[in-house]
Structure 1
């Protein structure tokens, strides 16, 4: 069941890199990449649990390759660890030239999420809800 939920919750989002996302070095702003990763990580965590989640921390963000204008990036989120309280999402950004088939991993990181109760306080992840919903699908 857990493997199937991980597979179903994997999230992919594509972005075109335009001039308004570039820094003075004409590469993608690191903060913009982090924003994209946090959004996809949040969606991944929420799709996995179907509960209210929030970002607790990010791991080391590794910038492996510069992302330049006229690139397409794919932001990929996948659950890699599901604990009682925290959920870990592996984030990767792949870059491909807009006008060729060349594709490389450009950025990677891990994001940690926790579950929120109705008062916006952290709570344990309720895996029984996930099992019940999975059986209905």
Structure 2
């Protein structure tokens, strides 16, 4: 299976914030944004593996700045690491205010997807080869984020997370 680059999965999704998308303060509802982010991330994951995918986890969503009614939302997504049957997708969300003519960062998150075969069973995905310094940084950190997800999900014991433990403990001679 041939390795893919993060740029092969790059997805940009753009939406406009309409009244039905907002809360009583005129801000984009977090749930609506997470819905749009899930779509963008799924497209990126499918581009990487050329197969249908399902969302396995959503973590580390940070809400930095609200996006107001009438503003435009830009969601950038690309695969940050591929494991055996799963892929981590990194997302950045930008708001754009056309009347004030500025663009601002709103959110960042990681979603995990599992690729499926025709029988809806997990299938192997292509490996990922990062190219840029940012892609390499995200790639390296993905192993640690995965181990945290597995521990929190009860699928890994903390003692089994060797790479994660190495961040906190050093060997003494």
TM-score under structure 2 length normalisation: 0.68
**3-state SS of paired residue (1:84):** coil
2:50 and 2:100 mapped to 1: Cα distance?
38
2:72 and 2:25 mapped to 1: Cα distance?
18
TM-score under structure 1 length normalisation: 0.85
Q: 1:2 offset after TM fit, Å?
A: 4.0
Partner of 1:135: none
Give the ranges of 4+ consecutive aligned residues of structure 1 lying more than 4 Å apart after TM superposition.
Answer: none
Q: Residues 11-60 of structure 1, C-alpha deviation per residue, up to 9 Å, x if partnerless?
A: 00111111111012211011100000000000000011111211100112
Q: 1:116 offset after TM fit, Å?
A: 1.0
Partner of 2:83: 83
Q: 1:87 offset after TM fit, Å?
A: 0.3
Q: Which has the larger radius of gyration?
A: 2
Partner of 2:148: none
2:84 and 2:42 mapped to 1: Cα distance?
17
Q: What is the RMSD computed on CA atoms of the aligned residues?
A: 1.9
**Greater strand proportion:** 1
Q: 1:115 offset after TM fit, Å?
A: 1.2
2:90 and 2:37 mapped to 1: Cα distance?
10
> Gaps spanning 5+ residues in structure 1: where?
129-137
Query: With CA pairs under 8 Å and 6+ residues apart, which has the higher RCO, 1 or 2?
Result: 1
Partner of 1:63: 63
1:84 and 1:122 mapped to 2: Cα distance?
9
Aligned length: 127
Q: 1:2 to 1:122 in 2, by over 3 A?
A: closer
Partner of 1:98: 98
Partner of 2:11: 11
1:68 and 1:12 mapped to 2: Cα distance?
20
